A = this chain, B = another copy of it.
């Protein structure tokens, strides 16, 4: 696809400085852009590349206009405008509706005639696949799993029994939705399985990254509300609820029955214990460990950044002495007070 800058400016709803007739064919970074490219400046650390860019146009905030020697699309949110421009210039691949001959679709499954079912997919009895949905190679939909309109299962996605997925959802390769939660009861030293009888309900416009797992509920459903975005290799335990428009970076573990609010952001490799609540608009930085509920919106952190190894070894020893140090400090303070009174 190609657009003139005038067309882009109109479609993105941003102001143009420069040649409305300039033809734009693709997006590129400031450093690697060439003629026909639109670039963007969304992160200050890259502003050094602005002056010398060979892009035909740059999407940027108005404050950077003086440093921009080419056409400019002026946006209050350049990254968002860039995302929209990139989507316009790179429309989603189209696909042919229909079921690949190697796919196995049970008689009782309902596949919309506009949907695509790729090679080696298995669609069980009672499963439903909505209009314009794309089911890539090797996906499995167990009994009564539902994939909404315009959904996209890229490849090798598993939707277990009764899982319900909303509209315009994108699930990347290896995603497993609705495997049994980790429910075990101890019988005198031996673990007995607790049947996992709930399911998973996923709202509209959710995207889930490669090899992420979302367990089915024990008795009620695990729920991801509309617009939730999960990165790769995340674990969502049974009965978890994640509020609308919360985004979670890679390698996060969320324990069973946790309730996460709306519009939260959770940094990579964070871990959240089960049976707690996190308020709306909480932001956790990477590697945060959350053992208890968070009742107030805000930014929270934990974790210990690296030190040179020898220094760290000393820190570790001292951390183990912390309680003793605190008591010694108190004793010193006490002694000083006594000296004052001597």
Contact = CB atoms under 8 A, between A and B. Distances in A.
B77 A197 contact: no
A271 B271 contact: no
A186 B80 contact: yes
Nearest to A330: B328
Contact of A122 (B119, B183, B211, B229): B119
Stoichiometry, copies per complex: 3
The number of chain A residues touching the other chain, given as a range, is: 35 or more
A94 interface: no
Nearest to A106: B119
Given A27-B197, A83-B185, A253 B271 contact: no
B285 A269 contact: no
Contacts of A3: none
Given A122-B119, A176-B173, A227-B190, A314 B323 contact: yes
A113 interface: no
A53 interface: no
A64 interface: no
Nearest to A299: B309
A188 to B, nearest CB: 9
A137 B137 contact: no
B298 A309 contact: yes
Interface of A: 27-29, 32, 43, 45, 77, 79-80, 82-84, 86-87, 90, 100, 102, 104, 118-120, 122, 136-138, 140, 142, 154-156, 158, 160, 170, 172-174, 176, 179-180, 182-187, 189-195, 197, 207, 209-211, 213, 215, 219-220, 227, 229, 231-233, 235, 237, 245, 247, 249-251, 253, 255, 263, 268-269, 271, 273, 275, 284-292, 294, 298-309, 311-316, 318-323, 325-326, 328-329, 332-333, 335-336, 339
20 contacts: A77-B187, A87-B195, A90-B197, A102-B102, A136-B140, A138-B138, A172-B179, A173-B176, A176-B211, A180-B209, A182-B231, A182-B249, A211-B211, A213-B232, A215-B232, A235-B268, A287-B289, A299-B308, A307-B320, A336-B339
Q: Which 3 A-B pairs have the closest CB atoms?
A: A122-B137, A104-B119, A251-B253
Given A83-B194, A84-B192, A294-B306, 18 more contacts: A27-B219, A29-B220, A86-B194, A119-B122, A122-B137, A138-B156, A140-B155, A158-B173, A176-B232, A184-B229, A184-B247, A191-B227, A213-B233, A231-B235, A233-B235, A289-B305, A305-B316, A319-B322
